Each structure stands twice: as C-alpha cells, then as structure tokens.
Amino acid sequence: MLKKNHEQILRRIIEICPSGYKLVTTEDFNEITIDDEMLYLAENGLINIKYSLNGEYLICLLPRGKNYFDNEKYQNEFKKDILLKSAVYAFIGGCLGGFIAGIISFLLGTALC
C-alpha cells in the first residue's frame, strides 16, 4: 500500500504517460516533490526510470503501476467480504455451540435426576 503522496504521483504518471516512455519534468507534478517518491515507485516495480537529470525523468509506467488502483479496489472489496463471512460464521458457531450445550445439560439433568 502506497502513501498518499506516492498515490498522487502515480495517478499523475498514469495521466501523463499511459503507454511507452515519456519525458516528464518536476513542473508536470504541480509542486509535489518527486525525487525520492519517483525512486520509491521504481523500486517497487510500478514505474521504470530510464534516466533522471536535473528534474527531468524519462519514465515508463509498468503493468503493476497501471493496475495498482484496480487491485487496491479489489483487495478492499475482498477484505470486506472476508470480514462479513467471518462475522456470520462466528454468530452461527456461537448459536450452534449454545444450542448443543443446552441439549447436553438437559440430557445430563434428566439422566441424573
């Protein structure tokens, strides 16, 4: 999961160069400091930096970078689905366990009396 400033830069890169290499400058990013952030995105396999010199970068968006926001949305939906299933199973398990304990105590109570 990326930090907010990394996500802003990645969104801007997706807008600027959807395919192939493109020369971008620091002015393309609306006063966001991008030096360390660009390196971070490259190290995580989201973009490829061919070269960087004096605030100019020749970058290419990699498939992982293109699909980052789609995957994030899918992962959030997947987590919500798992959480809902876990809550339902826990509730059903609790009810079933209480029912079985009640039957056992009833049977033991009638057998011993």
Q: Which domains does the chain have, with CATH numbers?
A: 4-66 (1.10.10)
Confidence of residue 2 (pLDDT cuts 50, 70, 90): confident
pLDDT at 80 over 80: no
What lies within 8 Å, CB to CB, of 66 at 6+ separation is 14, 18
Q: Which of 19-23, 30-34, 83-87, 92-96 shows the lowest mean pLDDT across its residues?
A: 30-34
> SS3 of 56, please?
strand
Q: What is the mean pLDDT of residues 86-102?
A: 93
Rounded CA-CA distance 90/94 in Å is 6
Confidence of residue 79 (pLDDT cuts 50, 70, 90): confident
Q: What is the mean pLDDT of residues 54-83?
A: 79
Confidence of residue 63 (pLDDT cuts 50, 70, 90): confident
Among 59, 18, 65, smallest CA distance to 35 is for 59
Q: What is the mean pLDDT of residues 69-94?
A: 80
